[in-house]
Structure 1
Amino acid sequence: MEVFGSTFDDSVFEGAREKPSAVSQSPYNAKLCEVEWFSENIDTEDPLEKQKIFKFRADFAYRRKNFQEALNAYTSCILYIPDGNLTIRRDILEGMARCWCHLGRREEALSLTEILKNDASNTCHLTCLLHLTTNIHEHFGDLRGQIEILQQLCSLHPYHQWYWMKLAESCLHLLQTLSAPTVTPGPPQDEEADGHKGARIQERLKGERDHVWLKACMCFVRSRLLLRTLKGQQSSFVLQNSERAMRKADEALQYLEPRETTLQRITEVMLEDLVAERMKEDHLDGEGLAGLSLNDFQDRWWNRILQAEVLI
């Protein structure tokens, strides 16, 4: 029988080893930069330093709303970005897109968002890109384009109440625009042909108004359901914002005046996937990038609303 402790290694009882003496290090001297140091003439051949200088110049000019100057600096900066530095490249392309937007060049801005879309590799990248694209459409007053991108945001983040609220408000704004009377003066033409043409236009407008009206009702109901579901987890100014948004949704639905049966059927469809397990935090990062398109929104909610035979 072994006595407790008789099998300990002798090294346990050896004296402590001496610690090696610390290696002497030279003191750290922080680099000091003059105010607006990046505005000076470039006297370096280092591509990384050139990239930093042009990036600072561009950001500074953008902040001062010198968008053409910022665009020129961003364009110069991108020439010195290594192929593997996708983060800086994405940042520069986003800055260029915003500059083109402020300069009134819509096509150039949207062409850069297409490049960014091809480079998106995760949910965060795509979310930032969709935000940028929405802002471009909003800047140029393109409500239809804005609604299309917001639908993609709602597909990517199906439990994000503010995306649904923004989509609902955009649909309401488009509905009000379509409902406004328009007068198109022109030379006198054949009254009968003119009447047929006017009737077709009015019929098409009515169909679009009904479509947008139903989508506005659907999105306001969805945002109100989400706000009520998350209300119990909120406090302070966050809760106040949610309560304010709920009142706005209620007022909008009163303005839209859906029938009680319509409201009930919409609520049933929009409530189906609001299950606590699916709405946990680990599900709030989006549904993934694979195959995300406008059809996701159509198939997941819109077509089911239509199949429910909702009365307009």
Structure 2
Amino acid sequence: MEIFGSTFDDSVFLEARERVCESLSSYNAKVCDPQWFCENSCLHNEDSLEKQKVFKFRGDLAVRQGNYQKALEAYSSCLQLTSDNNLTIRRDVLEGMARCCTKLGQRNEALDLASSLSKEVSNTCHLTSLLLLKVSIYHHFGLVRPKMSCLQQLCTLLPFNPWYWFSLGQMCLQLLDSNTATEPVGGETEENQEELSEEQIWLQACVSLIRTRLLLRSLQQQQSSFVLQRSQKVLQVTEEALQRLNPAEPTLQTLSEVMSEDLIPEKMREDYQDGESLASVCLPNFRERWWDKVLLTGVLRDPSATGGVLVLQT
């Protein structure tokens, strides 16, 4: 009777076959001089792909140098050479052109380019990039309400990102300070954008900042170094803003409970993974996901109170 593993296969003791070493053909790496794409001779190449690279690199360099008109011209030339099925380069170039137009004060052109990008959105990463681009355009031209609408969409798409909630809270504070209703221009309208009363803006500021505080406190357990320092700094600013808004303690408690209902560690890791197809994501608007839930608590503003104190409706 043989014990399992006590015998060896004879092949273990056979001599290894001699390996035949085939000589490899020599390879010479291509060496490029710094800013080689700036030479006019690069455009003499008949290969359209090489010309596309040249214009793309020229545009990127011009942006770094702050020459946005030159960058816009280079990107435009690159786009003309880019095939329709090369979506990665097209998106990169269109976004670069939109940012250049923004810097040059060409509002309508920047919004048109952003609109072109929206037609090619196919996953959550694309949508996030598009919304951030719109936020930068609206911020540059002082369009507060459409910028706030984009931030609301970001908070719904990525609900566990404290920076979007913080930015939304800051936008609400800006609206309260200005007491104006800046409308989108140039034909650009954002979905779910609506007129909000001063009381609603006040309440949305409280909700956004409370959500920011909850998320930052939760994430600090996993942070260190400069990341932790940044979170602590933003958390301090958030606390000061909430003190300025001065919600009553019962209201603060109620809103904190509502905005923390989904803060479950397992859900925070799995909710809306980057790059997920939009076809598989059921994305409600901000009102459906957050605002209606807040209003159901019966929180109303007491017009007779000072300092923006809220009371609970009974």
Same structural fold, with TM-score higher than 0.5 when normalized by the shorter chain:
yes
The equivalent residue for 2:271 is 283
Output the CA distance in 1 between the equivalents of 2:19 and 2:285: 64
The equivalent residue for 1:251 is 240
Q: 1:2 to 1:133 in 2, by over 3 A?
A: same
Which of these residues, 204, 225, 234, is aligned with residue 236 of structure 1? 225
Give the TM-score of the pair, scaled to structure 2. 0.82
The equivalent residue for 1:131 is 132
Asked if 2 retains the 8 angstrom alpha-carbon contact of 1:179 and 1:209, the reply is: no
Q: 1:8 to 1:305 in 2, by over 3 A?
A: closer
Matched, 1:225 2:226: no
Asked if 1 retains the 8 angstrom alpha-carbon contact of 2:163 and 2:212, the reply is: yes
> Structure 1 or 2: larger helix share?
1
Output the CA distance in 1 between the equivalents of 2:294 and 2:2: 79
**Rg bigger for which structure?**
1
Output the CA distance in 1 between the equivalents of 2:6 and 2:245: 87
Shift in Å, 1:32? 2.7
| TM-align CA RMSD | 2.6
Q: Give 5+ residue unaligned stretches, structure 2.
A: 182-194, 302-314
For 2:215, give the aligned amino acid: L
Q: Give 5+ residue unaligned stretches, structure 1.
A: 181-204
Shift in Å, 1:95? 0.5
The equivalent residue for 1:120 is 121
For 1:210, give the aligned amino acid: E
Shift in Å, 1:289? 2.7
Output the CA distance in 1 between the equivalents of 2:61 and 2:180: 43
Output the CA distance in 1 between the equivalents of 2:6 and 2:173: 85
Output the CA distance in 2 between the equivalents of 1:242 and 1:2: 66
Output the CA distance in 2 between the equivalents of 1:58 and 1:300: 40
Shift in Å, 1:292? 6.5
Q: 1:220 to 1:23 in 2, by over 3 A?
A: same
Matched, 1:38 2:38: yes
Shift in Å, 1:123? 1.7
Shift in Å, 1:38? 2.7
For 1:302, give the aligned amino acid: W
Output the CA distance in 2 between the equivalents of 1:160 and 1:88: 28
For 2:99, give the aligned amino acid: R
Asked if 2 retains the 8 angstrom alpha-carbon contact of 1:168 and 1:216, the reply is: yes
Shift in Å, 1:208? 2.0
What pairs up with 1:102-121 in 2 under 5 angstroms?
A: 102-121=103-122
Output the CA distance in 2 between the equivalents of 1:213 and 1:266: 13
Number of residue pairs the alignment of both structures matches: 285
The equivalent residue for 1:98 is 99
Which of these residues, 278, 287, 292, is aligned with residue 298 of structure 1? 287
Q: 1:265 to 1:7 in 2, by over 3 A?
A: closer
Asked if 2 retains the 8 angstrom alpha-carbon contact of 1:161 and 1:226, the reply is: yes
Which deviates more, 73-82 or 150-159? 73-82
Asked if 1 retains the 8 angstrom alpha-carbon contact of 2:122 and 2:277, the reply is: no
User: Could you list the per-position Cα deviations for residues 217-238 of structure 1 after superposition, in whole angstroms to 9, with x for gaps in the alignment?
Assistant: 1101110111112222222222
User: Could you list the per-position Cα deviations for residues 246-279 of structure 1 after superposition, in whole angstroms to 9, with x for gaps in the alignment?
Assistant: 2211111111122223222211211111122212
Matched, 1:71 2:72: yes
Q: Which has the higher contact order (CA 8 A, sep 6+)?
A: 1
For 2:207, give the aligned amino acid: M
Shift in Å, 1:45? 1.2
Matched residue SS, 1:311: strand
Q: 1:11 to 1:110 in 2, by over 3 A?
A: same
Matched residue SS, 1:299: helix
For 1:283, give the aligned amino acid: D
Output the CA distance in 1 between the equivalents of 2:8 and 2:33: 61
What pairs up with 1:86-235 in 2 under 5 angstroms?
A: 86-178=87-179, 208-235=197-224
Asked if 2 retains the 8 angstrom alpha-carbon contact of 1:159 and 1:284, the reply is: no
Asked if 2 retains the 8 angstrom alpha-carbon contact of 1:217 and 1:256, the reply is: yes
Output the CA distance in 1 between the equivalents of 2:282 and 2:38: 41
For 2:240, give the aligned amino acid: E
Matched residue SS, 1:223: helix
User: Could you list the per-position Cα deviations for residues 135-186 of structure 1 after superposition, in whole angstroms to 9, with x for gaps in the alignment?
Assistant: 0010011111111000111111101111111110111111101079xxxxxx
The equivalent residue for 2:61 is 60
Matched residue SS, 1:132: helix
Give the TM-score of the pair, scaled to structure 1. 0.82
Shift in Å, 1:242? 1.7
